[in-house]
Structure 1
Amino acid sequence: MSFLPGTGRIMSATLILALSSCSMAPAYKPPAMASTASFKEAPGWQPARPADDVAKGEWWKLFADPVLDGLEAKVAASNQNVAAFAAAYAQARAAVRETRASLFPSVDLSAGGTRAGTFGNGTTTIIGSNGTTSSSGSGSRRYSVNLGATWEPDVFGRISSGLRQQKALAQASEGDLLNATLAAQGELASNYVQLRGLDQQKIVYQETIAAYERALKITSNRYDQGQVARVDVLQAQTQLANARATSADIDRQRAAFEHAIAVLIGESPSSFALPAAPWSRAVPDVPGILPGTVLERRPDIAAAERRVAAANQGIGVERAAFFPTFGLTGDIGTQTSRLGSLFTAASSIWSLGVTSALTLLDFGARSARVAQARASFDQAAANYRQTTLTAVQQVEDELAATRVLRTVAEQRSAAATAANRVEQLTQNQYLSGLIVYTDVITAQATALNARQQAIQATVDRQVSAITLVQAIGGAWPTPAP
């Protein structure tokens, strides 16, 4: 098969330009951020070596709770929010493959067969390949097969910039998926420790209700003996009824957390149940990191940075519109009136062409699109900086909370111990006739509140540890040898 005169040179020149295509996108550098040597709220918080499983991202194992481990394993597989982000990531990867395909020619194959004739006594003239003519009243047949190809060489980098843009967006989508997974895992762990705290609150109230029932019986007996007034019995009844009401409300709160956990692991709240279990007061120590490491670890920061890179390539796509586009087309096929001679050399035809297009006047439309792309880059950069600042703020907040809540828990525990002792002493004094029953009621209420506050302080520490893990990215890099 021969080419049209000069076509080979045109194709060669176009191919060379395509292979040496330049990018119109500006040189990319991630937006600069100020960094410090340590966190203000924990200046001595240095990197530590966590357990191997924690280094792989299973940070919840710091709590050493097998039930929590089993629930967390279901999040990545069954959580529907995570599944939605996984689907979005799959779409982004498919978009990369679609854009990459634009760098290569597209090939089409077509085939057809027609028959033409006249009505009545008319005849159809058929011209043969050797120049002879014949007439037929039954019509004519034509068969054809055609193989065509088109290709747009990426001379000025428009397609390659678009491909790099799609790759960056896919990486951002992956960051979104990791961030959604981390958020679901953190929410599950937080709900779980709060549910276990309520289980402990329930135990406290069960013990308290039993104590109040004994106190009511003692007071009623003393009233029957004429030793105390009726008001003492009424106060004991009031105290007992309030305790029973609060205990019932704990069941409501626990049910809400149980339902939330079911949804997080992708199960129906109607069929999911989480039996009561012993409460672990353990508060794990979160291995430290340095401030600059937050930028490398947090998936939301990584996603924001990749969107900046995508916006930078978007500038290149729009700038490439100022330059011409080139296209190559080629066809080879065969046409004949007899099916048996469809693929003979005498019936073959071919064509080859080169096209070029350039917009000469658009009254500033292309310039406006470039300006839009630059503004989109500035917006993405600002979002990246804001995401980074917010991440550092969250780490500082949780470091402060971790430090303060440790002191709070210690003081709450001491207060509960003292309040329990006061409650016991006042009951003895009341039985000895030294104080009135109002003093007993006050001591009981104070002791119950102190026990509740001690439990809640420990739960708050556990939730703060979980939030701190999320704030630093959820997993620790494996230490270098």
Structure 2
Amino acid sequence: MPLPFPFLPRLACPCLLSILLAGCAVGPDFHRPSIDGPSRVSEQPIAQRTASAKIGGGEAQTLSAGADLPGQWWTLFGSRALTALVATAMRDSPTIEAADAALRQAQEKTLQQTGTLFPSISGTISRTRSEQPEAYLGIPGPAPTISAYSAQLNLSYTLDIWGGLRRAIEQQQAGADYQRFQLEQAYLTLTSGVAASAVQAASLAGQIAVQKALIGFEQKQLDTVHAQFEAGGATGTDLATQQAQLAQAQTILVPLLTELAQTRDQLAAYLGRAPSQAALPDFDLDDFTLPETVPVSVPSALLAQRPDIRAAEALLHQQTAALGVAIAARLPNVTLTAGVGTTAADVHQMFSPTNGMWSLVNQAVQPIFDAGQLLHAQRAQRAAMEQAAAQWRQTVVAAFQNVADVLAALQNDAVGLRAALTAADAAQRGLSLASLQFKLGGVSYLSVLTAQQTYQTASLTLIRARAARYADTIALFAALGGGWWNRHDMPPPPPGLLSSPLP
């Protein structure tokens, strides 16, 4: 009994050959890069416990080596306002929305590329009407009108003999991985930016409050000097000096107000809103709690934790797979095309056994001469792979530097806060004593002026030193990768290749 489609045995042999060769793919296989990581990231060993000071934000912090980082590390600061602000930013930020869309696009392109491993099947139905003149055959009369109906099913299949299609899929998947870690980097930049800006806003608000209090004190001092000048107890120079001191204090206030407004505008931008629409809370340094236990990852763990390193790794994977695609482009490309259908002069005769037709085309294309285009494309891609490998190493080095810088700041700023607290307490006592002695005529006004300047500097330095402890901790959480591996709010990947064939 003859087969209904006699081309099927001929088509089966190449398909079987393609299956047997499915494990072969030209080009280098990607292996996750590694380096001989250092035992520590800092030049000098870091103490396991920081210095402490008896003020908010001055608690000693224990550095817990190898401890895991929570996914929502910003909650460790104990500020409900900060937690709510970060949640709003993660939900509404256009930056996150754009990065998420880029990831979904890359995932869909991966599924699109995966479809190249399967046969492409299409159907065609047509009706043709035409006139064929027969006068040249010696047949008189008008040209007859001819109708033709046809229906055909076409199949096209490219044999992935050299693995070029699979390398292209691997390349697209690596691109999706790259976008995945770009999204995580966007989350990390956003959350750390919101937290750092909130601390900065609290610091500036505290500096403004101190400066306003100092301006009030300077005004009282001016009143005292003016009274003593009227009574002959102070000179005109003393009066002019105090007036200048008051004006100077007012001048210092202006850039602080500007910087606070700009910081709050930045917070509004993180939320994806105009400053007038953000409705931001007021932040105070006393609203934050300094985490007393800080996880510190071992150097080898940074390779898997930092999104920028993982993105650089995915980029290297992408370029490695692209080299396989470039190599496969220089080798023969085998394509199978088959068709089965029917054609008839009348629609009622289309499915008659005598009107059936079929075709089978086996095609192999081998580049012979292209003036070296494919060769140089392959060499260029190898150079791109080597570039990506060097960029990955540079990203790792920069990551180690980042962590080392932050750890040094964490230790040194803790010592600095203790010194700033001591200086502020001493400056306050010195100013009180100098002011009292000046009223009693025991010291010149120069002593009061010096004490005022010392107190102003010490007070602002203390607030900045407190803020630095919080900012250093935020920077450390960001430098260690932000704990994205412990978050569970990432959107699921798109449906598989065949689970949603229709839009």
- Fold shared per TM-score above 0.5: yes
2:316 aligned partner, one-letter code: V
- Structure-2 change in CA distance of 1:218 and 1:266 (3 Å): same
Contact 1:216 1:236 in 2 (8 A): yes
- Structure-2 change in CA distance of 1:426 and 1:43 (3 Å): closer
Deviates more, 1:161-170 or 1:359-368: 359-368
Q: 2:408 aligns with which of 366, 391, 400?
A: 400
Contact 1:118 1:124 in 2 (8 A): no
- Structure-2 change in CA distance of 1:43 and 1:278 (3 Å): closer
Aligned to 1:186: 192
- Structure-2 change in CA distance of 1:13 and 1:48 (3 Å): closer
Give me the whole-angstrom Cα distance separating, in 1, the residues matched to 2:392 and 2:259.
38
TM-superposition CA deviations, 1:191-236 (whole Å, max 9, x none): 1101110111111122212212222222222223332223333222
Identity of aligned residues (%): 28
Give me the whole-angstrom Cα distance separating, in 2, the residues matched to 1:392 and 1:90.
31
Aligned to 2:18: 17
Q: CA deviation at 1:421?
A: 0.4
Give me the whole-angstrom Cα distance separating, in 1, the residues matched to 2:12 and 2:47.
65
TM (normalized to structure 2)?
0.86
Contact 2:132 2:146 in 1 (8 A): no
Q: 1:39 aligns with which of 38, 41, 51?
A: 41
- Structure-2 change in CA distance of 1:465 and 1:98 (3 Å): same
Say whether 1:413 aligns with 2:406: no
Give me the whole-angstrom Cα distance separating, in 1, the residues matched to 2:113 and 2:277.
45
3-state DSSP of counterpart to 2:31 = coil
Give me the whole-angstrom Cα distance separating, in 2, the residues matched to 1:243 and 1:163.
65
Give me the whole-angstrom Cα distance separating, in 2, the residues matched to 1:372 and 1:116.
54
3-state DSSP of counterpart to 1:287 = strand
Give me the whole-angstrom Cα distance separating, in 2, the residues matched to 1:362 and 1:138.
50
1:16 aligned partner, one-letter code: L
Give me the whole-angstrom Cα distance separating, in 2, the residues matched to 1:140 and 1:476.
69
Aligned to 2:355: 347
Contact 1:189 1:466 in 2 (8 A): yes
Deviates more, 1:429-438 or 1:230-239: 230-239
- Structure-2 change in CA distance of 1:277 and 1:264 (3 Å): closer
3-state DSSP of counterpart to 1:329 = strand
Give me the whole-angstrom Cα distance separating, in 1, the residues matched to 2:183 and 2:31.
24
Give me the whole-angstrom Cα distance separating, in 2, the residues matched to 1:337 and 1:278.
87
- Structure-2 change in CA distance of 1:330 and 1:10 (3 Å): closer
- Structure-2 change in CA distance of 1:389 and 1:452 (3 Å): same
Give me the whole-angstrom Cα distance separating, in 2, the residues matched to 1:33 and 1:477.
22
Give me the whole-angstrom Cα distance separating, in 2, the residues matched to 1:384 and 1:345.
64
3-state DSSP of counterpart to 2:125 = strand
TM-superposition CA deviations, 1:390-425 (whole Å, max 9, x none): 101111111111111111111011000000000000
Give me the whole-angstrom Cα distance separating, in 2, the residues matched to 1:416 and 1:61.
30
Q: CA deviation at 1:23?
A: 0.8
Q: CA deviation at 1:453?
A: 0.4
1:143 aligned partner, one-letter code: Y
Aligned to 1:232: 238
Contact 1:219 1:228 in 2 (8 A): yes
Give me the whole-angstrom Cα distance separating, in 2, the residues matched to 1:116 and 1:322.
45
Aligned to 1:129: none
1:283 aligned partner, one-letter code: L
Contact 2:41 2:401 in 1 (8 A): no
- Within 5 Å, which residues of 2 pair with 1:203-282? 203-280=209-286, 282=289
Aligned to 1:329: 337
Q: CA deviation at 1:344?
A: 3.2
Computed over aligned residues only, the root mean square deviation of the Cα atoms, in angstroms, reads: 2.6
Aligned to 1:67: 81
TM (normalized to structure 1)?
0.89
TM-superposition CA deviations, 1:313-364 (whole Å, max 9, x none): 1222122234311111111222222233333333332222211111233444
Contact 1:124 1:137 in 2 (8 A): no
Deviates more, 1:7-16 or 1:367-376: 7-16
